[in-house]
Structure 1
Amino acid sequence: MDGRGQGGFGESGGFGYCFDSLRPERRFAAGIDRTVPRVLSVIATLDGSGAEKQFALLNAGLQARGWDMHAVALTRGGPNSQPLDAAGVPLTVLHKALKFDPLCLARLRRIVAKLKPDVIHSWMFTANAYARMASGGRPVVTGERCVDRWKGGWQHAVDRRLIGRTARVVGNSQAVADFAIERGAPADLLTVIPNGVEPLTPDPSFRANLLSSLQLPPDSQPVVFAGRLASQKRPEDLIWAFQLLHQANPSAVHLIVGEGPLRERCERQALHFGHAHRCRFLGHRQDAAKIIAAADVLWLASEYEGQSNTVMEAMSAGVVPIVSDIPSNRELVADGETGFVVKVGDSLGFCQFADRLLSAGDLRSRMGAAAGDRMREEFSVDVMLDRYEALYRELLDEKAGP
């Protein structure tokens, strides 16, 4: 996922701030047993994107396991505030208003001084910078969630300058960890903890209602893309792939979930190719996960990724993915076993494998079952929680000393 959408220093947010955020102690639970390890988690926003969902899953899951979790969103809350609230994880929003906001940094320092967390865990560039500047010498785990090619020299300079305040750097895939090392992060600080995925169960009635609401025939075979319509994702490759697929398989329909700067261009291409009547641009959808689970095939053409939550959700639902041949995708998809991997930009390859899967229900079922098994065994939320617990306890042991 493009790091620009994840709360970089360029993100502004609102200019006001709630009175409680100036007095964070009002927001934190009282009477907590301080023998329980306390973790302060920091992120830029709690929007509806993949990293924010992982943030909510981790904090809610560890709170349920008995950890004392506290969350801070630097700029704003969002849909992923709800799981935190349901799990009883206290959340403070600091309403960062500037690219670099000294007031926000001061508020975060006050929170650290008040809470005295045993570990601070930050997520992505902006939160990583603020958390390390506000840490007061406490161990900081920074989270790298993407192969952030958008970063310029000054962002890398900030990361290098603050590396001395970093206890660990966590990448959600080996590809992300390797990218961080290439950009100067010490290899001995890097660890890889993949995302956790909640199991999805396809709902036949939802699929039927979805097709009906989109005025598509009930026997349609949905091929789904879900993500930002931006150059990183190469959605135009998939518009062209569907032009070929539609001619080979008239039952195929293309469902495109998401927004982005290339949406209008993709819509024009679909009209130009003459298959717009079989495409539906759905925009942002709160039920995106259900749409993914209702697909016959999911495809992702990205030229770079961190670790795709969309692909993981599809696989957990038994939907076979067709993905571009990049390192992070190869960590998820075993080519020919749990999905198919094609070269970046190979629209014909996307078409051929989609047609093969749509035409062979037994192959689709067999590969979908293997994909679901892999997610349950290697990428479950419980496995993710276990790995973070082990990391935090390692840091606590180091802090305690011999």
Structure 2
Amino acid sequence: MAGSNDQSRPYKVLFVIDTLQTGGAEQSLLANVIRFKNMKPVVCHLYAGDQLKQRFIEHGITVHSLGLRKKYGFPQAYKQLKAIVQKEQPDIIVAYLTRSELVARLVGRFSHIPVIGNFVSDLYSDAYNSTLSWKAKVLVPFFKWANKSTARYCKGFMAITDAVKQSNGKALGIDANKIVVIHRGRDSNIFRFQVPQTIPGKPLRFLNVGRLVPVKGQRDLILAFNEFLPACPQAVLHIAGDGPVRESLSALINELGLQNKVVLLGGRNDIPQLINEYDCFVFPSHSEGFGAATLEAMFAGLPVLVSDIPAHKELVTHMETGYYFETGSVQSITQALLWYKDNLAVANTMAVKANEYARQHFELSKIAGKMENYLLNMIITKN
């Protein structure tokens, strides 16, 4: 049964997620729920991994850690989550990521509690699935079937972009009216906006931030930067992030003789401060659920050169707030770098407009408020 209708207490929402590691969904969850004003959030993670747990607790949020070590362990996850639901008596359940979504939907259905699902990536696109291991690819059809079969148990869904809404809705046969777009946000207070300056003779410094995986397109960027250097020999490119293709990217840098020009910075936890050391942000990703790294660059005031994927088109308007290049095209990335070099003043003016747009549409407090209001409405409305 759902929580009591006695509103002497705030409505309670139980968030169910795979882990509390430092992924995008997990960090976004933390950023939003600590800003809730009218609901009591409770968090449960089903699987082992709790790097962010203490930060939730520090904000007075109860966290239930099941810590399952099996890859799936669905029967055990269902039994333990159901016990937590019986204890907490939430008014609504919000689930993130496929494993947790499947378990939460069944628990919610048999506990008569409304469930809200989440779409945080273009889950069934070719670009997204190209990064999966062969074992994971074999399981995609099964999980798509399970996802589609249980989607009807959800009262509604939140999607982080309209592109993600459309692609997942189509793949799973969900009425578009059941999916609301609630973007991810950023706290502008964390970023120091600097009006971009054009300084003649100053070497250009380019930055990319992202996990080192093929889908992020860093190989394309390094190849393009190599083609760009004859026109701008003093420029440097730094890439912040870590991941499984670090060795192959290092080998490429060495092969091209770019050791003094392209630097892999490794994983960084000071991105908001790091951004301000650069002149331009380049993001060549082949697929993104949202494009948070690009948004952070916009908040910091950097001109952005980005791939023309759907997620970026919801953040950036070509030649108004940034510059698009063709996804996966080394030649197009090279042309974007050359355009930036030859149009610094224009690019910097666009960066100011991009910052204004980011503050208007992606301020974290507004995003959190929109999510909370949506969940309250889903509790109050009967069907």
Bin of the TM-score, shorter chain as denominator length: 0.7 to 0.9
Deviations for 1:121-155, whole angstroms, at most 9, x for unmatched residues? Answer: 11121221121122222111111100013371111
Equivalent residue in structure 2 for 1:268, among 241, 251, 266: 251
5 Å-filtered alignment, 1:129-144, equals 129-135=102-108, 136-144=111-119
Gaps of 5+ in 1: 1-31, 205-217
Match status 1:80 vs 2:52: yes
5 Å-filtered alignment, 1:2-401, equals 35-62=9-36, 65-101=37-73, 102-135=75-108, 136-149=111-124, 150=129, 152-187=140-175, 188-199=177-188, 200-202=190-192, 220-358=203-341, 360-399=343-382
Amino acid paired to 1:46: L
Q: Would you say how many aligned residue pairs link Structure 1 and Structure 2?
A: 354
- The structure-2 alpha-carbon separation of the partners of 1:268 and 1:308, relative to structure 1 and needing over 3 Å to count, comes to same
Q: Tell me the distance in 1 between the aligned counterparts of 2:80 and 2:319.
A: 51
User: Could you tell me the TM-score, scaled by structure 1's length?
Assistant: 0.82
Deviations for 1:321-352, whole angstroms, at most 9, x for unmatched residues? Answer: 21111111111111111111111122232233
1:61 match: secondary structure:
coil
What is the Cα deviation at residue 275 of structure 1? Answer: 1.2
Say what the alpha-carbon RMSD is for the aligned residues. Answer: 2.2
What is the Cα deviation at residue 365 of structure 1? Answer: 2.6
Deviations for 1:45-104, whole angstroms, at most 9, x for unmatched residues? Answer: 222222211111111111xx1321111122234443344233211112111211222223
Q: Tell me the distance in 1 between the aligned counterparts of 2:164 and 2:123.
A: 8
Q: Tell me the distance in 2 between the aligned counterparts of 1:393 and 1:203.
A: 34
Which deviates more, 137-146 or 357-366? Answer: 357-366
Q: Tell me the distance in 2 between the aligned counterparts of 1:317 and 1:110.
A: 45
Q: Tell me the distance in 1 between the aligned counterparts of 2:51 and 2:297.
A: 21
What is the Cα deviation at residue 219 of structure 1? Answer: 5.3
Contact 1:358 1:364 in 2 (8 A): no
* Identity score, percent: 24
What is the Cα deviation at residue 261 of structure 1? Answer: 2.5
| Structure ranking higher on relative contact order (CA contacts 8 Å, 6+ apart) | 2
Gaps of 5+ in 2: 1-5, 130-136, 195-200
Amino acid paired to 2:85: V
Which deviates more, 245-254 or 172-181? Answer: 245-254
Which deviates more, 263-272 or 343-352? Answer: 343-352
What is the Cα deviation at residue 293 of structure 1? Answer: 4.0
Contact 2:157 2:179 in 1 (8 A): yes
What is the Cα deviation at residue 360 of structure 1? Answer: 4.5
Contact 1:137 1:165 in 2 (8 A): no
Which deviates more, 100-109 or 302-311? Answer: 100-109
Q: Tell me the distance in 2 between the aligned counterparts of 1:67 and 1:233.
A: 36
Q: Tell me the distance in 1 between the aligned counterparts of 2:317 and 2:224.
A: 22
User: Could you tell me the TM-score, scaled by structure 2's length?
Assistant: 0.86
